[in-house]
Structure 1
């Protein structure tokens, strides 16, 4: 079960939704030193102590993040930051 689960609606065409998801992944990679790769419409990301996925559908984007023991205490702050980034990029204005 995910420690963080955020679903954000969008009205973007599929190609733009994937580009927005990649933007979120790039920002996470920069801030948290994470690697990511696409498996169809699911972006898988991981690093030591963190793993998860960002799934794109026609009307929403869902991110699920599993945190290691040491990062669980920071879950609320991480969730807030990721939610804000998703809202920004999936609004189509980023």
Structure 2
């Protein structure tokens, strides 16, 4: 099963980093139909064919996702969109 792993350093307070992850999650829901739920400082998300999480750490944001067979051809598009949004919000 193909996967995506992205670690993006940041220097924001935890509350601000978490608020920005909420913005990433909103974009992911809009663009890819992902539903997310916070558990501590980790936002878990899923939709048919895609599961993963975005962990907010003191010095980094860590995104992990597993793609099903149907979404495998879109791996590059999904990963590029995640990286773009993280760069925009955590630059």
Would you say same fold, with TM above 0.5? yes
Gaps of 5+ in 1: none
How far residue 2 of structure 1 moved from its aligned partner, in angstroms, is 6.3
Tell me how large the CA RMSD over aligned residues is.
Answer: 1.2
Runs of 4+ in 1 over 3 A off after TM superposition: none
Aligned length: 91
Query: How do residues 31-50 of structure 1 correspond to structure 2 at under 5 angstroms?
Result: 31-50=31-50
Bigger CA drift: 73-82 or 44-53?
Answer: 73-82
Alignment partner, residue 90 of structure 2:
90
Alignment partner, residue 64 of structure 1:
64
Q: What secondary structure is seen at the aligned counterpart in 1 of 2:64? A: strand
Gaps of 5+ in 2: none
Cα pair 1:2 1:64 within 8 Å, conserved: no
Once residues 34 and 14 of structure 1 are traced to their aligned partners in structure 2, the CA distance between those partners, rounded to angstroms, is 23
TM-score, normalised to structure 1's length?
Answer: 0.91
Q: What secondary structure is seen at the aligned counterpart in 2 of 1:20? A: helix
